Structure 1
């Protein structure tokens, strides 16, 4: 969701900064556009960072002894956390 929000903020900011040529006395629309574009980039980068952080794998190792032979048995499991994707 945050990646999409970053793109939307950037697009709205670009429209205000470059495509809209309306003079308003009480606000500078190009400045608001540049601020929205900067906020969109920040939100996009934070969204990517949180997405990469969520995709870590979990590795588990179990060691047990076989009761019949007395040998050590090692079992390794690797899984990714379920993030609903």
Structure 2
């Protein structure tokens, strides 16, 4: 899940939780909205944590030098 997907889930969840007043039998759209918002928030936190971890990684370059002396 990327940043875009997480933001989409947050937006969709907010719309369902706060903007929709329709009723579907057996489905509480407010709860579905809250669940989507929680999933989007967790996804965003995970993506940002992984991106932060990648930016702190170090790369080491190993150079080998061989000098040959004729005797």
- Superposed pair shares fold, TM > 0.5: yes
> Normalising TM by the smaller chain, what interval?
0.7 to 0.9
Residue aligning to 1:24? 24
Q: Which runs of 4+ in 1 moved over 2 A?
A: 59-67
Question: Greater strand share, 1 or 2?
Answer: 1
Residue aligning to 1:57? 58
Q: What does 1:29-48 correspond to in 2, within 5 Å?
A: 29-48=29-48
Question: Greater helix share, 1 or 2?
Answer: 2
Note the residue ranges of structure 1 that are not aligned, 5 or more in a row. Answer: 68-85
RMSD of the TM alignment (CA)? 2.1
TM-score (norm. length: structure 1) = 0.66
Note the residue ranges of structure 2 that are not aligned, 5 or more in a row. Answer: none
Cα distance, 1:59 vs. partner? 3.2
